[in-house]
Amino acid sequence: MPETLPSIARYNAHLRITADWLLQSIQHGKGGSSAHYSHLRGWSAPYPETTGYIIPTLIDASAPLDDPSLHTSAITLGEWLLDLQDAAGWWPGGLLKPGSARQPSVFNTAQILDGMTALARNTGEARWRDAAARGASWLARNLGADGCWQIGNYREGVNPSYYAQVAWPMLQVWQLSGDDLVHEAAIRVLDRIIARRVSNGVIAGWGFDEDRPAPTHTIAYTLRGLIESALLLDRWDTYGEPCMAALEKLSRKSQIADGRLPGAYREDWSAVSWYSCLTGNVQTALCLLRVEQRERDLRLVNSAARLVDHVCSHQQTGSRPAATRGAVAGSSPPWGRYMFMRYPNWAAKYHADALMMLAARLQGEADR
């Protein structure tokens, strides 16, 4: 037996309980996926943004887990999101609480495009492609010549660098629709963000607040959006290569600290180390594995495995309470600054993605 197979079996076992927890979040989500669970307040309201990008995770996990219910759940989530889409094309921001006003959201709309395009590719049904096209058109129409949005931002007037994660889903829609206006708008966003890169590899403004340290969650959002866009556009030198200095730093830190990244970084790379952002850990692993798909380098695989293993070691695997079995906390320790004392659905989503990508890479190595 190849030596990697025991680790693949372990990753698949973690994938199973992660998928089961995501299904729990859907059962409690009143149509969508509940944003998070906490021991103090229980299950939250559903979150359209993360419900959107959980869809491709469920589709991808259905095959390795031999579980058609995951695919069925993905379609059910998509139908819930179709009902929420505004006639203008946008989807609302924030958690969907009863009676709350619905306002357009740039970032949430883009993350839902990820789910719509996954369903369109997987099923071939026009309803998903059409919804994605309307959402991407709304984003393109409202983008300024400077690559910024004036409406629909998380903070009014602030267009952070992690909007690279908006450009990438827009380009996925462009692949399906051929809409040149969407393509051109995504390029404007990417060009504005890549221009913010400074000499130490940091991309300025990649956190929630420009005057506070950026969690590895939004750092990885920024890098992943640029990497995926570079690969999709075949413009690695323009959008991919500028990410490598930051990724190499994070990869080295993974090696030195046995997979534990600091929770956040300032723009001089000084770290907030007393906690770790577990979501950022697995998102960084995904960035490393995507780069490694372009140019094989087992050192990157090793760094990614350490990052994933660290999160596996903190994943809730016991049977009690049932609401946390398979969950991933926002932070380690759980009282860290990122998602204090909560288990967010996006942490589980990205953990599942990283487990699948890593297991597939290791299986490929074992089959050689």
SS3 253: helix
Q: What is the pLDDT of residue 3?
A: 47
Q: What is the pLDDT of residue 178?
A: 97
Closest C-alpha to 275, from 340, 321, 349: 340
Task: Please say if the pLDDT value at position 250 is more than 60.
Answer: yes
Percent of the chain past pLDDT 70, that is, above it, reads 99
Beta carbons of 306 and 20 less than 8 angstroms apart: no
H/E stretch holding 214 reads strand 214-215
Rounded mean pLDDT of 251-273? 97
21-47 pLDDT tens trace: 999 999 999 999 999 999 999 999 999
CATH architecture of 5-367: Alpha/alpha barrel (1.50)
State the Cα–Cα distance between residues 157 and 337, nearest whole angstrom: 25
Per-range mean pLDDT, top range of 99-103, 355-359, 362-366: 355-359
pTM summary value: 0.97
Task: Please say if the pLDDT value at position 6 is more than 90.
Answer: no
285-320 pLDDT tens trace: 999 999 999 999 999 999 999 999 999 999 999 877
Closest C-alpha to 95, from 137, 40, 49, 47: 47
Pairing of strands 36-38, 343-344: antiparallel
Q: Predicted confidence band at 2 (pLDDT cuts at 50, 70, 90)? A: very low
Mean pLDDT, all residues of the chain: 96
Rounded mean pLDDT of 323-342? 97
State the Cα–Cα distance between residues 224 and 23, nearest whole angstrom: 26
Q: Predicted confidence band at 210 (pLDDT cuts at 50, 70, 90)? A: confident
State the Cα–Cα distance between residues 8 and 358, nearest whole angstrom: 8
Beta-bridged to residue 6, according to DSSP, are none
Q: What is the pLDDT of residue 367?
A: 86
Task: Please say if the pLDDT value at position 161 is more than 50.
Answer: yes
Q: What is the pLDDT of residue 320?
A: 78
Rounded mean pLDDT of 337-344? 97
Task: Please say if the pLDDT value at position 345 is more than 80.
Answer: yes
Task: Please say if the pLDDT value at position 240 is more than 90.
Answer: yes
User: Looking up tokens 């007037």, which residue turns up?
Assistant: 157
72-121 pLDDT tens trace: 999 999 999 999 999 999 999 999 998 888 999 999 999 999 999 999 99
